[in-house]
């Protein structure tokens, strides 16, 4: 077999532009492996790419899709292979693109074995969110211990999203107090079930709630995918020496900042995008996840939160659901 089914973006527009097509099966190069896909994750960057706002990095597939799970078929296993992967193994993988397809090529370093106790389908919901959360909350945000020895606290903006439910679960599993915002009471309850104190941002002031819950101290780390006018309020919600980490700008790219508060309270603001980073950077995160996070699935301290699984040819419906923001957790395509 030399061809496969895929979902492409023939031109920018709404969900309806996504089209099933037939394409040649890609061939792995040096340091790469071919995966027969079982499930593809649907993520907000896929929507941005479809709309024309998030172009694939140079050399990446033009097909959308930043994560998959499936079976290793063939490839180059001669380089660094810390998990001992081989053809026939069930894996999940982080991609720079190309995930909406029956077969995909991925760097070996960005592949992880399916965690013990999970199905291959469930594993399709993991890579993009767990790579992103670990890199931004624990590496860039440095969520750890306070000077008094207590665990630092985390505020997650958009707690019911795929990123949100991941950040809540992981920080809670590692013993950190977690707060989260969400847009309605149902989503707030879902966040609470995962271990967070939840704030309905439409009816409550997250600054006031966080201050009340922390006896006026504020929160140590904020993971924000909103931006815009949230920035000055987040500065007020942070504890001294707190860190604010941006991973998206759904609420706007510009905001006003009182630099004096930043200086006087020793605050840090950072942010990142994962997709264009080099393979070596992502491979290092994969090894951390395997060591620190994958065992938490085996002992049931973490679990996939999957809202809905669509047949791959219904990718347009999956994108419409993503844009509606009514989902809680992950959306998947099944091949």
Could you give the CA distance from residue 73 to residue 27 in angstroms, rounded to a whole number?
11
Kindly give the residue spans of alpha helices, DSSP state H, lying in the chain: 44-51, 120-123, 127-133, 162-173, 185-193, 206-213, 230-237, 259-264, 279-288, 294-298, 315-324
| Vertex 255: Cα angle to 253 and 258 (nearest 5) | 150
Q: Which pTM was predicted?
A: 0.96
Rg (CA), the chain: 20
Q: What is the pLDDT of residue 251?
A: 87
Q: What is the pLDDT of residue 286?
A: 98
Q: What is the pLDDT of residue 1?
A: 82
Residues across the chain: 335
Contact 307, 327 (CB under 8 A): yes
Structure tokens at 48: 């941005």
Residue 21 bridge partners (DSSP): 6
Cα 46 to the chain's mean position, in Å? 12
pLDDT digits (tens, 9 = 90+) for 213-242: 999 999 999 999 999 999 999 999 999 999
Could you give the CA distance from residue 131 to residue 135 in angstroms, rounded to a whole number?
6
Residue 151 bridge partners (DSSP): 145
Structure tokens at 251: 């609420």
pLDDT digits (tens, 9 = 90+) for 285-328: 999 999 999 999 999 999 999 999 999 999 999 999 999 999 99
| Vertex 205: Cα angle to 199 and 206 (nearest 5) | 50
Of the candidates 321, 319, 312, the residue with the CA atom closest to the CA atom of residue 14: 319
Average pLDDT, the chain: 97
Could you give the CA distance from residue 96 to residue 278 in angstroms, rounded to a whole number?
10
Q: Which residue has the tokens 């670990």?
A: 134
Could you give the CA distance from residue 67 to residue 69 in angstroms, rounded to a whole number?
7
Of the candidates 200, 195, 242, the residue with the CA atom closest to the CA atom of residue 218: 242
Q: What is the pLDDT of residue 166?
A: 98
Name the band, by pLDDT with cuts 50, 70 and 90, for residue 121: very high
Of the candidates 160, 150, 162, 149, the residue with the CA atom closest to the CA atom of residue 183: 160
Q: Which residue has the tokens 């603001």?
A: 269
Q: What is the DSSP string of 26-89?
A: P---TTEEEEEEEEEEE-HHHHHHHHTSSPPPTTS-SS--SEEEEEEEEE--SS--TT---TT-
pLDDT digits (tens, 9 = 90+) for 161-198: 999 999 999 999 999 999 999 999 999 999 999 999 99
pLDDT digits (tens, 9 = 90+) for 191-221: 999 999 999 999 999 999 999 999 999 999 9
Could you give the CA distance from residue 204 to residue 67 in angstroms, rounded to a whole number?
35
Residue 156 bridge partners (DSSP): 180, 223
Average pLDDT rounded to a whole number, residues 28-50: 97
* Backbone φ/ψ region at 32: left (φ over 0), alpha (ψ -120 to 50), beta: beta
Q: What is the DSSP string of 217-243?
A: --EEEEEES--TTHHHHHHHHEEEEEE
């Amino acid at each position: 077999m030399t061809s496969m089914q895929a979902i492409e973006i023939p031109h920018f527009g709404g969900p309806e532009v996504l089209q099933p097509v037939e394409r040649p099966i890609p061939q792995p190069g040096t340091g790469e492996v071919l995966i027969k896909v079982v499930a593809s994750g649907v993520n907000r960057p896929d929507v941005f790419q479809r709309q024309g706002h998030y172009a694939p990095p140079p050399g990446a597939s033009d097909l959308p899709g930043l994560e998959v799970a499936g079976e290793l078929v063939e490839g180059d296993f001669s380089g660094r292979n810390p998990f001992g992967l081989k053809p026939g193994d069930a894996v999940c993988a982080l991609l720079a693109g190309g995930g909406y397809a029956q077969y995909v090529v991925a760097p070996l370093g960005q592949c992880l074995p399916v965690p013990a106790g999970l199905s291959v389908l469930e594993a399709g919901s993991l890579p993009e969110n767990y790579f992103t959360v670990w890199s931004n909350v624990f590496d860039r945000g440095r969520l750890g211990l306070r000077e008094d020895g207590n665990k630092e606290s985390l505020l997650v903006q958009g707690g019911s999203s795929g990123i949100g439910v991941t950040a809540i679960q992981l920080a809670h599993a590692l013993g950190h107090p977690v707060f989260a915002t969400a847009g309605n009471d149902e989503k707030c309850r879902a966040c609470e079930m995962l271990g967070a104190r939840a704030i309905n941002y439409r009816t409550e002031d997250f600054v006031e709630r966080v201050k009340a819950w922390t006896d006026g101290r504020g929160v140590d780390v904020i993971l924000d995918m909103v931006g815009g006018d949230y920035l000055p309020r987040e500065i007020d919600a942070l504890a001294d020496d707190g860190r604010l980490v941006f991973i998206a700008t759904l609420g706007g790219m510009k905001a006003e900042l009182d630099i004096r508060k930043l200086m006087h309270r020793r605050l840090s603001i950072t942010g990142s995008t994962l997709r264009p980073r080099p393979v070596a950077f992502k491979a290092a995160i994969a090894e951390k996840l395997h060591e620190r996070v994958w065992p938490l699935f085996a002992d049931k301290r973490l679990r996939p939160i999957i809202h809905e699984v669509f047949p791959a040819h219904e990718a347009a419906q999956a994108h419409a659901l993503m844009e509606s923001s009514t989902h809680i957790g992950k959306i998947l395509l099944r091949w």
